[in-house]
Amino acid sequence: MRQKEFTQKTVLSKDELNRIYKYRNNKIIQWVFLLAVVLLLLVIMISYLTKEFMNSLSIDIIWDILFVVLFIYIAILCMKNIRKLRNIKIDSLSVRRAVITEKQSVKSKDLINRSRNRFVAVKIDDNVTLYAMCSQKEYERTIVNKSIGLFFTLGDDTIRVIVL
């Protein structure tokens, strides 16, 4: 089943709208920071490449050019995600407000990134449970069967939650 079937149009209070705006703006700030780092690395790589190219032509220049292309691709990806997040109209988002019935913290299987993935869940119908990713702060604030969560998506297929 598609997750669009689980979300519905809910009238949100001003405080709830502000929380979703803040969440979206924090995501934009994260992408802008990544873009700034990538652009800085791109400038350093291009200046190094021009200095190296002036001295001699070697096989290492091919790897340098590949890194420059990679940095350009990442910069374009960052700009695309920033534009997508800025174009989302929070007022027209489909949001599900429900009481959180379960929370889980799962260790990552990745050997490099040993972080935890945190999820909360809500029962929508008798046989349908909706899981959403949440931050550490939201996870700690969650009280099972007491906390109310706003479940929404920001233009992708990842369901997110803000605990009220």
pLDDT tens-digit profile of 21-70? Answer: 898 999 999 999 999 999 999 998 888 888 777 766 666 777 788 888 99
Q: How many CB atoms lie within 10 A of CB 71?
A: 20
Calpha distance 106→9 (Å, rounded): 30
Question: In this structure, are 98 and 129 located in the same domain?
Answer: yes
| Residue 142 lies in domain | 3-11+91-163
Decide: pTM greater than 0.85. Answer: no
> For residue 124, what are the CA distances in angstroms to 55, 82, 93?
66, 32, 18
Residue 16 lies in a domain: no
Domain count, the chain: 2
**Final residue of a structural domain among 62, 86, 110:** 86
Residue 151 in 3-state DSSP? Answer: strand
Q: CA-to-CA distance for 127 and 62, rounded, in angstroms?
A: 56
My answer on whether 69 and 126 are in the same domain is: no
Give the side-chain half-sphere CA count within 13 A for 56: 3
- Per-residue confidence band for 109, with pLDDT thresholds at 50, 70 and 90: low
Tokens coding 82: 């920033």
Tell which of 32, 59, 86 closes a domain: 86
Please report the sign of the dihedral spanned by the C-alpha atoms of residue 84, residue 18, residue 25, residue 146. negative
Worst-scoring range by mean pLDDT, 16-20, 108-112, 144-148? 108-112
> Shortest CA distance to 80 belongs to which of 133, 25, 32, 152?
32
